[in-house]
């Protein structure tokens, strides 16, 4: 392209060489383009041949002709325009925004415009996205169930969402301008809190954060228990502010207090019931012992006199059998009630040694039935050793007792262990008569029996004792079985049993 004068040519050549945006030279009166650079062609989509000698209005480059007129009027008035936001249309018809800077200059006695336009499409898109994100954030904060507020370093509330106002019983925005510290029930804590927030060490981003819980006062004077998570933001563009999120813990605190009260009441009630059961069972032992003794004494006298025959002998059999069964029930009831009252602190217990002790105590039964009891290596656990002895005694006794009355049948009981989660699973499997799955829950309840005394004697307390021992240790006791296919009782014990009310935590177990 060429210019009438060398000065104009030098000026435009310099501008064309140093400016990355679109550069145009046009007449003021009709908008005809005298010169355009390559940046203009890239931005507008026109070639220089299509543009030179034609006006912007003719090419419909301005989105709004009135907008061009206002721009030119301001330019004629001031002589210069900088970064005016204007809308343009590309050759394709696409509308875009640009920042136009322009200056008047005289050419052959006629005013011309030297303009530079920067495409700000990316800036506009970023701004639109920022506005959308801000709108979404405001909507999110407005609908959050938690209170959100912004404070200055003096504690004055600058902003709040509706949930924050509702939390304290105010209308939205009513707390703005007030001091958040005045909402605290304990004003001494409020003064300490200010120091804590202001002295908190900032992280790598320059902000610091923390949390606290406190009782706060609502508008009606009632107290609520609130957790506050705060973040102190430091910005080079403005004063630091504190963003806080408030969570109302009042209901959960009350529920926890109610739960504790209920547990304490239940523990007390259970303790009273256990004491009553223990006293009642203990007091029954003497009358039962008396009945048994007198029955045996009368049997001996009648036998000596030769009159204990027929129906009389049968009645004495029933009397003595009933007395023995009642004595067994009382003994088991006493054992059940002692599970808590005579519990010992948890300590390291070798279950292998426990099973060996139980086998020794059942040696006569094992020998009489020809049973095989197989025990694989068992773990050392944190437990109450006497209760572990009682648990395995009951389970192994049941495994040997509930066997089919078939000639030549050999009872087989296997005890195995395996890691499961954060504890041990111990299985006691037998080849006995099995259990119908519909009775799985029933067998663990007190005095629940599935068989008659003549076939399989017992009190119906043993498995209830076993499950209660497992639960005291934070474990579980379940059964897998089918009629005629044997039963497998699975005891799971955690590595760290719970600390129960009135008990001391167990000492740490040495590494194995």
pLDDT one-digit tens code per residue, 70-118 = 998 999 999 898 888 888 999 999 888 888 999 998 888 889 999 988 8
Sign of CA dihedral 263, 269, 274, 275: positive
Res. 30: pLDDT tops 90: no
Helix (H, G, I), strand (E, B) or coil at 491: strand
Q: What's the pLDDT score for residue 426?
A: 92
Pairing of strands 412-420, 372-375: parallel
Res. 505: pLDDT tops 60: no
Joined together, the tokens standing for residue 19 give 């400016």
CA torsion 313-290-445-396 (nearest 10°) is: -80
| Most distant CA atoms of the chain, gap in Å | 159
Q: How far, in Å, CA of 178 to CA of 437, rounded?
A: 67
Please report where in the chains the tokens 């050759």 appear, as a residue.
Answer: 91
Q: What's the pLDDT score for residue 285?
A: 62
Q: How far, in Å, CA of 198 to CA of 153, rounded?
A: 8
Mean pLDDT in residue range 12-41: 80
Q: How far, in Å, CA of 112 to CA of 12, rounded?
A: 13
pLDDT digits (tens, 9 = 90+) for 265-284: 776 766 666 665 665 555 56
Span of 30-44, 159-173, 305-319, 459-473 with lowest mean pLDDT: 305-319
Query: How much is the pTM?
Result: 0.43
Backbone φ and ψ for 447, nearest 5 degrees, come out as 60, 25
Res. 511: pLDDT tops 50: no
Q: Report yes or no: 74 and 68 within 8 Å, Cβ to Cβ.
A: no
Q: How far, in Å, CA of 181 to CA of 162, rounded?
A: 19
Higher-confidence position of 186 and 122 = 186
Phi-psi sector, 393: left (phi>0), alpha (psi -120 to 50), beta? alpha
pLDDT digits (tens, 9 = 90+) for 276-322: 566 555 556 667 677 777 677 777 777 777 777 777 777 767 676 66
Please report where in the chains the tokens 């504190």 appear, as a residue.
Answer: 242
Average pLDDT, the chain: 81
DSSP 102-143: EEEEEETTEEEEEEEEEE-HHHHHHHHHHHHHHHHHHHHHHH
Please report where in the chains the tokens 């994100």 appear, as a residue.
Answer: 133
């Amino acid at each position: 392209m060429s210019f009438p004068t060398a000065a104009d040519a030098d000026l435009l050549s310099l501008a064309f060489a140093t400016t990355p945006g679109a550069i145009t030279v046009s007449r003021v009166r009709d908008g005809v383009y005298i010169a355009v650079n390559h940046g203009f062609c890239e931005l507008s989509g026109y070639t220089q041949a299509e543009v030179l000698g034609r006006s912007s209005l003719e090419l419909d480059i301005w989105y709004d002709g009135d907008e061009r007129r206002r721009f030119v009027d301001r330019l004629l008035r001031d002589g210069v325009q900088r970064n005016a936001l204007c809308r343009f249309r590309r050759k394709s018809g696409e509308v875009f925004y640009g920042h136009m800077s322009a200056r008047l200059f005289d050419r052959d006695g006629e005013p011309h415009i030297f303009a530079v336009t920067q495409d700000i499409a990316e800036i506009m898109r970023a701004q639109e996205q920022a506005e959308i994100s801000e709108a979404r954030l405001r909507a999110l904060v407005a609908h959050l169930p938690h209170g959100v507020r912004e404070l200055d370093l003096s504690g004055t509330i600058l902003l709040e969402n509706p949930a924050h106002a509702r939390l304290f019983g105010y209308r939205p925005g009513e707390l703005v301008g007030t001091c958040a510290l005045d909402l605290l029930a304990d004003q001494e804590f409020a003064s300490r809190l200010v120091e804590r927030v202001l002295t908190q060490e900032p992280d790598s981003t320059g902000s610091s954060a923390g949390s606290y819980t406190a009782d706060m006062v609502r508008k009606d004077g009632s107290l609520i228990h609130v957790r506050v998570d705060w973040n102190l933001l430091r910005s080079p563009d403005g004063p630091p502010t504190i963003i806080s999120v408030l969570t109302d813990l009042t209901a959960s605190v009350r529920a926890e207090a109610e739960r504790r009260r209920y547990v304490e009441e239940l523990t007390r009630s259970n303790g009273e019931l256990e004491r009553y059961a223990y006293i009642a069972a203990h007091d029954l032992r003497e009358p039962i012992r008396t009945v048994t003794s007198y029955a045996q004494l009368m049997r001996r006298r009648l036998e000596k006199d030769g009159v204990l025959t027929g129906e009389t002998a049968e009645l004495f059999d029933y009397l003595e059998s009933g007395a023995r069964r009642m004595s067994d029930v009382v003994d088991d009831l006493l054992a059940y009630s002692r599970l808590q009252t005579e519990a010992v602190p948890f300590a390291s217990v070798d279950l292998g040694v426990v099973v060996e002790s139980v086998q020794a105590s059942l040696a006569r039964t094992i020998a009489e039935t020809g049973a095989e009891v197989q025990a694989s290596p068992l773990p050392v656990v944190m437990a109450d050793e006497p209760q572990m002895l009682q648990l395995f005694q009951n389970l192994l006794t049941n495994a040997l007792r509930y066997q089919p009355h078939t000639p030549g049948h050999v009872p087989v009981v296997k005890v195995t262990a395996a890691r499961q989660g954060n504890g041990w699973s111990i299985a006691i499997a037998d080849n006995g008569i099995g259990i119908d799955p519909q009775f799985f829950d029933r067998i663990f309840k007190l005095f629940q029996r599935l068989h008659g005394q003549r076939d399989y004697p017992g009190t119906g307390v043993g498995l209830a004792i076993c499950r209660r021992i497992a639960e005291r240790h934070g474990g579980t006791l379940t059964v897998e079985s089918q009629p005629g296919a044997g039963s497998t009782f699975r005891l799971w014990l955690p590595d760290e049993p719970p600390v129960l009310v009135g008990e001391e935590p167990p000492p740490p177990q040495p590494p194995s």
